[in-house]
Chains A and B, each alone.
Chain A
Amino acid sequence: MTESFDQWQFVIAAYALGGGATLALVVWSWLAMRRAEQRRDRSREG
C-alpha cells in the first residue's frame, strides 16, 4: 500500500507557518522598539 501526497499542501503549510512567524517577529520587534523609545522620550520630557 502506498500513500499519495499533494506536495503543494506541504509547501503551503511550511510557508504559512515559517513566513508568518518571520513576519510576526519583524513587526513585533519593530513595535516593541518604537514603544520603548517613546517611553524613553516621555521620561526625558517629564
Chain B
Amino acid sequence: MHGFANPARFLRIARWATPLCLLLGVALAALSMGWGVFFGPADALQGDTVRIVYLHVPTAWLGMGGWSTIAIASFCEIVWRHPLAGMAARAAALPGAVFAAICLITGSIWGRPAWGTWWVWDGRLTSMLVLFFLYCGYMALDAAARGQGQGAGQGQSRMTALFGLVGAVNIPVIHYSVTWWNSLHQPPSITMGKSAMAAAFLWPLLVAVLGYSLIFGGVVLARMRTILADEQAEARLRRKAMRASSDAEGW
C-alpha cells in the first residue's frame, strides 16, 4: 500500500486506469439503466417508479462511500503523512457531494408518487441531507485552509483531515437510521450475502452499482491527476519566478 503513495508510480497507473474506469463505468451504468428501465418488470406495489432504483441506490451507496474514502484517506494522511492520501480525500469530496445530491433528488422524485410527499424529516432522509451539508462544509474548509497557505503540497490541512474523520460518525447513522427510528423509507433490501429483491431487479441493480463505482473511481483519479498537475505547474512557475528575480538582482 505504501508503494502506491509515490506520485510517479501513481501517475503511471492512473494514466491508463482513469479512461478505463470512466469508459467502462459509463458503459455499464448505461447498460444497467437501459436494462432496468426498458426491459425490467414494473413492481407489483410501486409500479414503474421502482425503475428509479437503478439510479437512486448506487448514488446513495457512493454518497456514503465518498465520505468513507475521505475518512480513510484522512486517517492515512494524519498517521503516515502520505500526500497522496490527502489528495485522494480532496478528490473524493466533489463526486461524493454530487452523488449525495443525486440520491436526495431522485429519492424525492420517487417519494412523491410512492409516499405522496416530496420530503419528510425522518431519520434516513435527514441524515443523508446532513451528509450533503458535510460535503459542502468539507470543500469550503479545504478551500479556506488552502487560501491561508495551509495543507502542504497536494495534501489537506490538519483541520480539514480531522473534519473528514469526525464527519464519518454520520455514516453509521445513515445506515442504521431505518432500523433505529420509524421511517417512511424502506429497510435495507440488500445486506451482506442476503437480498430481499427478486433477481429481475437485483441483477441490473448490481451492474448499475458496479458501473457507478467505476465512474466514482475514474472521477477521483481524474481529480487527483488535476490536483497533482496544478501543484507541479505552480511549483515550476514559482521556481522560474525566483530564478528570474535572483538573476535580475545579480545584474
Contacts and interface: CB of A to CB of B under 8 A. Distances in A.
Interface of A: 3, 5, 7-8, 10-11, 13-15, 17-19, 21-23, 25-26, 29-30, 32-33, 36-37, 39-40, 42-44, 46
Main SS at interface, chain A: helix
Contact of B222 (A3, A14, A19, A29): A29
Interface in B59-113: 59, 94-95, 98, 101-102, 105-106, 109-110, 112-113
A17 B105 contact: yes
B144 interface: no
Contacts of B59: 18, 22
Report the 7 A-B pairs with minimum CB-CB distance, sorted nearest first.
A36-B229, A7-B48, A40-B233, A29-B222, A40-B229, A43-B236, A33-B222
A23 B56 CA distance: 15
B55 A15 contact: yes
Interface string B210-232: 00100100110011011101101
Contact of A25 (B113, B219, B236): B219
Contacts of A21: 98, 101-102
A33 B225 contact: yes
Contacts of B207: none
A29 B29 CA distance: 18
Which one of A15, A21, A26, A29 has the greatest number of beta carbons of chain B within 10 Å? A29
A40 to B, nearest CB: 4
Nearest to B113: A5
Contacts of A22: 29, 59, 98, 102, 212, 215
Nearest to B112: A10
B243 interface: no
Given A29-B223, A36-B230, A18 B48 contact: no
A40 B232 contact: yes
Given A18-B55, A25-B98, A26-B22, A33 B105 contact: no
B48 to A, nearest CB: 4
A40 B140 CA distance: 25
A21 B18 CA distance: 19
A42 to B, nearest CB: 8
Contact of B215 (A26, A36, A39, A46): A26
B225 A11 contact: no
A23 B95 CA distance: 11
6 contacts: A14-B106, A22-B59, A25-B98, A33-B225, A37-B229, A40-B230
A29 B110 contact: no
